[in-house]
Amino acid sequence: MAMLLRTPRAIAAPRTRAVVTGLIVAGALLTAASGVIHLYLWGQDNGYRQIPTIGPLFLAQGIVAILFALALLGTRWLAMVVASAGLLIATAAGLLISIEVGMFGFQETWYAPWAKTSFAEELAGGILLLIAGWPLLRPARRD
């Protein structure tokens, strides 16, 4: 349990601690951006809220992503780093599945508004957070 609550403060080397903190902040901003994009697309006049199952999922993803981003910035816990990375990667995977094979009776396209942008920023955010989490898994030591 203690490992899940680890923060960059557990990293002895100041440069590594600063880099990990920067990656966490960048990941949190990308997590929030994903949430904002989903809420924006959900709220449009002919937005995703009109689509059964997909609409509520867009709303939930938007709200959860913003809450995760705030919790990530507030705590910087390894648990939140991993959870946020998982959310972003799962969201990108959901878009990819929706485009390639369809999901819940709905097939998306890469030409949909924000599809390419959200896919790229969600993958980037997930990767940045996984990179940030790696040093938090290692035992504290002086570099």
**pLDDT tens, residue by residue, 33-48:** 999 999 999 999 989 9
Residue 16 CA from chain centroid, whole number: 22
For residue 48, the 8-state DSSP code is: G
Taking only the tens place, the pLDDT of each residue in 87-138 is: 999 999 999 999 999 999 999 999 999 999 999 999 999 999 999 999 998 7
Q: What is the pLDDT of residue 143?
A: 46
Report the Cα 57 to chain-centroid distance in Å: 15
Q: What is the mean predicted confidence (pLDDT) over 58-86?
A: 97
Q: Do the beta carbons of residue 89 and residue 123 sit within 8 Å? A: yes
For the chain, domain boundaries: 16-137
User: What whole-number distance in Å separates Cα of residue 120 and Cα of residue 139?
Assistant: 32
